[in-house]
């Protein structure tokens, strides 16, 4: 054996490493890649208990520390599912030095915003700490992580992929983590081979194992922990292993059988409390003072079953705890868990400690369990909505069916399920409770909370029917106000907006009389929706401004309303005041996308839309998916990327299938119209526009108000004059209702000009739109004016077409820019201009202007958060831009990006002055 092989053998002599050479080498390579600036990554160690995950994790921690990593090493615990971020905190707050300061985490833990905010802030802190040194975050027993830690582990590795952060997660075969995070290496640990077991035996016994020991090892099933326990027993009982109980191979019961009854009872009670437990808690359950258990504690430690970490007693391996726990009869386990919950509550411990035991023991009629489960659900609702829903449902199930308290518990369960996005389950529970014919006021309350559920299910007719029925019997003023507000919201989707408005105004008055906050929020929201659907932009702004002043969470709705009003300055100001940590980040990004679309910043709008979809996918509530993909499809067509537009349309088709939301169906039909028109099938395109208007009576306001011109062109190309005239009439009506909105006035003149072939109206449209904030409607009017003038041989066509071309090119609307450029070249015979080349899809020139800014800021040492502050955008947006930058530049870390930016800067400095970047025309993908 060579010196190198001997060193390797010595390094692998600990139990759990024999037979794991390949896995350890892959982990070592990942550590070195992160250290060398290759970006972050994730390693999953998966396998059964005792298979060697923990030993590999600890060895990797040692390797990382030796290479200068800051290490966070934590462990999840089975009974800590109610403590938000407990699994991550166990490692982040310990170590030398700790990865996070205690005050950082205290700020996080005490924040009552949504989980997206918490996890994003945590990611920012880790990003900042890892800027000075590579970081390893290792978590053992990841299958038991609390829901918020699990959510964080599903989101943060991708979010921090550019930073030198290595995630090392050890768990069982199904850790319930996403498998789509880039640069994830999964290492399934299989049973050890016979050769590896023989090496393990040689390590433990100092020589070749006797034949009967080899036979015993075969019974260990290749499990390193069981094999090591068996070999330890052989070594302790003599070289020949005589007298060693063969049942050691199956577990640890051989050790238990030799214990005194008192020690065994102490360990059994400890196993109920969890793998780690406090001596005082075990003593309380034993009915003895802690000092009276010192003898039992010494015996348990001497037997190698538990260890004392200075704060708690810890079973040396979870297999040991499971073996002890399995010796308890099921009825005894249930009784001990229930007693543990009562003892913990009596000792002043929180529901976080007591409720896990209640979940294993409470039976119907247990009022204390119902109360504690309800309190725990309320405590975690904002950051762990799914867990809150599960706890609320369990509390309801513990109330006997004929106990009147079941209705209150059911109401809380419906609310929690709806907040968690589990609408069908919420409705099912509500219908079961309503079938029991509760008293009228209870009936009304249930219908009120079900209103939110039905709204999210797009069951508008059912929401209207149920709200109306409940209003006929309700006596509670607050519940009446909520029901009236829900009815107004439902009526906002109907055809009689006059009735809807009166219902909304009545709801506001009832909410004020009842002093009910929820009713006031819903009523103002409903009035805002009604005004937008009616095309009354000023009224919509009034209602949404009042709503956001009353509840800042609705600031995005005010931004969107102001964009419709062409009040872009106020919209910008509101987005800045939202701060870096908004309560509803996805909706705020949607508002920002709406503003950037209006401003003609198509690349930035695309990044915003991608971010909206990512944030909604993180929480698995894709509320804006259809609108996001419809807009991205339209952007793709503006760039001339028919393939990408089709991909977006496929997502929309799947999303609207089986959903009754008429607005989504109308948006889908409009995108299909654009696709058909791009393919030259103008007749089908026109029919799709008609279908969009049939599907939703107010799509003309919600979707077409900014696309009237596009829709009229489709109708005229299809020779459907009736449709073109109808659309122009709608545009005129919209302008009449919004005299202070330049886009509305200019669009009305533009559509009328197209229908009537009136050059004078085109000129008027251009003059009006020049006073507005939207460059693309102005470019469209100038392009049509230029075409008309060119047909008439008027040289004034050239400046009109030139202005249109430049606006489209600046916006990144390559397809429109190319179309206008061709007409401009015809109008400028012999101009000699070269067609603008398309933006490439890879390399530095593929980056958008904002992406270049982000790249330079990151190269200068900015974190996502500080770069976002410099650009006055969200850190979420910066993350989206970075993802696109890495893809276009084929880099995977900030280090490599910095090198490339510095090299590009050197090239620019050495070369001749560069002309401005070519206009982004032609077929080029956007941010993905």
Q: What is the pLDDT of residues 456-490, one digit of tens each?
A: 999 999 999 999 999 999 999 999 999 999 999 99
pLDDT more than 90, % of the chain: 58
Does the pLDDT at position 924 exceed 80? no
How many residues are recorded in the chain? 928
pLDDT band at 33 (very low <50, low <70, confident <90, very high): very high
Of 18 and 717, the one with more pLDDT: 717
Mean pLDDT of 229-245: 58
Q: What is the mean pLDDT of residues 738-759?
A: 96
10 Å Cβ neighbour count for 5?
Answer: 9
Task: Say how far residue 301 (Cα) sits from the centre of its chain.
Answer: 45
Within 10 angstroms of residue 742's Cβ, the number of other Cβ atoms is 19
CA distances from 478 to 249, 438, 472, 492, 517 (A): 66, 19, 14, 21, 9
Highest mean pLDDT among 100-104, 127-131, 700-704, 917-921: 127-131
Residue 5 has pLDDT above 60, yes or no: no
The answer on pLDDT for 702 being more than 90 is no
pLDDT at residue 703 in the model: 52
pLDDT at position 13 over 60: no
Mean pLDDT value of segment 71-97: 81
How many helices (H) and strands (E) in the chain?
47, 8
Inter-residue contact 511 to 523 (CB < 8 Å): yes
Beta strands in 365-434 (DSSP E): none
247-259 mean pLDDT: 56
Which residues on neighbouring strands pair with residue 838, listed in sequence order? 921
Reply yes or no on whether the pLDDT at 581 is more than 50.
yes
User: pLDDT-derived band of residue 825, with 50, 70 and 90 as boundaries?
Assistant: confident
Q: Counting beta carbons within 10 angstroms of the beta carbon of residue 524, is it exposed (0 to 12), middle (13 to 18) or buried (19 or more)?
A: buried
Is the separation of the CB atoms in 486 and 451 below 8 Å?
A: yes
**What pLDDT, on a 0 to 100 scale, did the predictor assign at position 178?**
65
pTM for this prediction? 0.83
Q: Give 307's strand partners.
A: 314
The mean predicted confidence, pLDDT, of the chain is 87
Specify the residue for token string 């600036």: 37
Q: What is the pLDDT of residue 254?
A: 58
Choose among 225, 247, 232: nearest CA to 47.
225
Share of the chain above pLDDT 70, in %: 89
261, with CB counted inside 10 A (0-12, 13-18, 19+), is: exposed
Q: What is the pLDDT of residue 486?
A: 97
* Percentage helix, strand, coil for the chain under 3-state DSSP, each rounded to 5: 65, 5, 30
Give the pLDDT band of residue 243 (cuts 50, 70, 90).
very low
**Residue 112: count of CB within 10 angstroms of its CB:** 10
- Specify which of 193-197, 322-326, 606-610, 861-865 reaches the highest per-range mean pLDDT: 606-610
Tens of pLDDT, residue by residue over 477-486, are 999 999 999 9
Does residue 601 carry a pLDDT above 60?
Answer: yes
Confidence of residue 919 (pLDDT cuts 50, 70, 90): very low
Burial of 853 (0-12, 13-18, 19+ CB in 10 A): middle
In the predicted model, is pLDDT for residue 597 greater than 70?
yes
Record the tokens describing residue 818, joined without a space.
Answer: 């190319």
**C-alpha closest to that of 505 among 493, 478, 487, 517:** 487
pLDDT at 553 over 70: yes
Angle at alpha carbon of residue 613, lines to 609 and 618, rounded to 5°: 145
Residue 6 has pLDDT above 60, yes or no: no
d(CA 545, CA 537): 12
Statement: residue 111 has pLDDT above 60: no
Higher pLDDT pick, 146 / 203: 146
For the segment 864-882, the average pLDDT, to the nearest whole number, is 87
pLDDT of 14 reads 52
Tokens of 487: 């009815």
Over residues 366-380, the pLDDT tens digits come to: 999 999 999 999 988
> What's the Cα-to-Cα distance from 143 to each of 47, 140, 187, 306, rounded to whole Å?
11, 8, 15, 22
Confidence band for 921, pLDDT divided at 50, 70 and 90: very low
Cβ proximity of 564 and 595 under 8 Å: no
Token pair, residue 856, equals 């330079």
Sorted by sequence, the CB contacts under 8 Å of residue 372 that are 6+ apart come out as 341, 345, 351, 354, 355, 358
Question: Which residues, other chains included, contact 694 with Cβ-Cβ below 8 Å and sequence gap of 6+?
Answer: none
pLDDT, tens only, 506-528: 999 999 999 999 999 999 999 99
Residues 6 or more apart whose CB falls under 8 angstroms from that of 849 comprise 603, 917
- In angstroms, the CA 22 to CA 140 distance is 20
């Amino acid at each position: 054996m060579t010196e190198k092989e001997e060193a390797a053998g010595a390094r692998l002599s600990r139990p759990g490493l024999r037979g794991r050479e390949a896995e350890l080498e892959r982990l070592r390579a990942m550590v070195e890649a992160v250290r060398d600036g290759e970006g972050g990554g994730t390693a999953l160690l998966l396998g059964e208990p005792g298979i060697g995950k923990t030993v590999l994790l600890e060895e990797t921690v040692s390797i990382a520390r030796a290479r200068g990593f800051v290490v966070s090493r934590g462990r999840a615990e089975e009974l800590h599912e109610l403590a938000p971020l407990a699994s991550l905190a166990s490692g982040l707050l310990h170590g030398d030095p700790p990865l996070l300061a205690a005050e950082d985490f205290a700020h996080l833990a005490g924040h009552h915003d949504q989980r997206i905010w918490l996890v994003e802030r945590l990611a920012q802190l880790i990003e900042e700490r890892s800027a000075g040194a590579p970081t390893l975050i290792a978590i053992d027993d990841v299958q038991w992580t609390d829901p918020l830690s699990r959510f964080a582990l599903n989101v943060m590795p991708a979010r921090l992929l550019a930073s030198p952060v290595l995630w090392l997660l050890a768990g069982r075969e199904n850790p319930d983590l996403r498998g789509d995070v880039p640069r994830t290496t999964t290492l399934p640990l299989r049973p050890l081979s016979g050769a590896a077991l023989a090496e393990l035996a040689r390590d433990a016994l100092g020589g070749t194992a006797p034949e009967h020991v080899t036979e015993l090892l075969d019974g260990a099933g290749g499990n390193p922990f069981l094999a090591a326990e068996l070999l330890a027993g052989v070594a302790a009982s003599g070289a020949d292993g005589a007298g060693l109980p063969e049942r050691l191979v199956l577990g640890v019961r051989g050790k238990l059988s030799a214990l005194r009854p008192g020690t065994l009872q102490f360990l059994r009670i400890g196993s109920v409390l969890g793998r780690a437990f406090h001596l005082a808690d075990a003593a309380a359950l034993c009915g003895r003072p802690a000092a009276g258990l010192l003898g039992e504690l010494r015996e348990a430690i001497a037997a190698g079953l538990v260890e004392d970490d200075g704060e708690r007693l810890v079973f040396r391996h979870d297999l040991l705890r499971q073996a002890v726990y399995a010796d308890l009869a099921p009825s005894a386990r249930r009784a001990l868990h229930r007693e543990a919950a009562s003892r913990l509550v009596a000792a002043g411990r929180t529901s976080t400690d007591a409720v896990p035991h209640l979940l294993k023991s409470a039976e119907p009629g247990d009022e204390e369990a119902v109360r504690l489960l309800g309190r725990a659900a309320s405590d975690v609702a904002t950051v762990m909505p799914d867990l809150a829903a599960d706890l609320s449902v369990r509390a309801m199930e513990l109330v006997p069916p004929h106990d009147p308290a079941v209705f209150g518990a059911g109401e809380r369960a419906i609310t929690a399920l709806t907040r968690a996005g589990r609408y069908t389950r919420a409705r099912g529970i509500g219908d079961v409770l309503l079938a029991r014919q509760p008293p009228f006021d209870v009936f009304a309350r249930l219908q009120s909370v079900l209103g939110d559920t039905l709204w999210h299910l797009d069951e508008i007719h059912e929401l209207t029917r149920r709200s109306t029925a409940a209003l006929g019997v309700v006596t509670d003023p607050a519940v009446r106000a909520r029901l009236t507000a829900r009815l107004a919201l439902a009526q906002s989707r109907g055809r009689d907006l006059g009735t809807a408005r009166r219902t909304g105004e009545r709801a506001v008055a009832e909410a004020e009389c009842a002093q009910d906050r929820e009713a006031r929020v819903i009523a103002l929201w409903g009035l805002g929706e009604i005004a937008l659907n009616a095309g009354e932009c000023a009224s919509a702004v009034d209602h949404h401004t009042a709503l956001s002043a009353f509840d800042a969470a609705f600031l995005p709705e005010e931004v969107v309303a102001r964009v419709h009003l062409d009040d872009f300055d106020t919209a910008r100001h509101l987005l800045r005041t939202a701060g870096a940590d908004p309560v509803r980040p996805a909706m705020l990004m949607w508002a920002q996308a709406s503003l950037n679309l209006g401003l003609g910043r198509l690349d930035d709008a695309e990044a915003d839309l991608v971010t909206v979809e990512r944030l909604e996918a993180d929480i698995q509530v894709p509320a804006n998916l259809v609108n996001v993909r419809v807009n991205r499809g339209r952007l793709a067509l503006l760039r001339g990327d028919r393939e990408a537009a089709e991909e977006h349309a496929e997502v929309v088709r799947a999303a609207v299938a089986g959903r009754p939301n008429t607005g989504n169906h109308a948006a889908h039909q409009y995108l299909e119209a654009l696709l058909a028109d791009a393919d030259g099938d103008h007749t089908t395109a026109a029919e799709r526009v008609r279908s969009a208007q049939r599907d939703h009576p107010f799509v003309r306001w919600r979707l077409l108000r900014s696309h009237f011109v596009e829709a009229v062109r489709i109708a005229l190309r299809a020779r459907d004059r009736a449709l073109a005239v109808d659309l122009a009439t709608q545009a005129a009506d919209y302008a009449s209702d919004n005299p202070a909105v330049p886009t509305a006035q200019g669009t009305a003149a533009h559509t009328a000009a197209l229908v009537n072939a009136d050059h004078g109206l085109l000129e008027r449209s251009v003059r009006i739109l020049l006073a507005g904030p939207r460059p693309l409607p102005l470019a469209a009017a100038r392009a049509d004016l230029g075409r008309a003038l060119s047909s008439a041989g008027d040289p004034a066509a050239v400046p009109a077409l030139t202005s249109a071309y430049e606006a489209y090119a600046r916006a990144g609307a390559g397809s429109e820019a190319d179309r206008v450029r061709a007409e401009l070249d015809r109008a400028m015979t012999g101009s000699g201009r070269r067609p603008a080349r398309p933006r490439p899809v890879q390399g530095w020139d593929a980056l958008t202007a904002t992406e270049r800014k982000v790249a330079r800021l990151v190269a200068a040492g900015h974190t996502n958060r500080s770069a976002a502050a410099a650009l006055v955008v969200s850190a979420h947006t910066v993350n989206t831009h970075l993802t696109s930058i890495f893809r276009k530049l084929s880099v995977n870390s900030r280090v490599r990006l910095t090198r490339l930016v510095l090299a590009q800067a050197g090239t620019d400095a050495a070369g001749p002055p560069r002309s401005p970047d070519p206009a982004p025309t032609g077929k080029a993908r956007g941010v993905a």
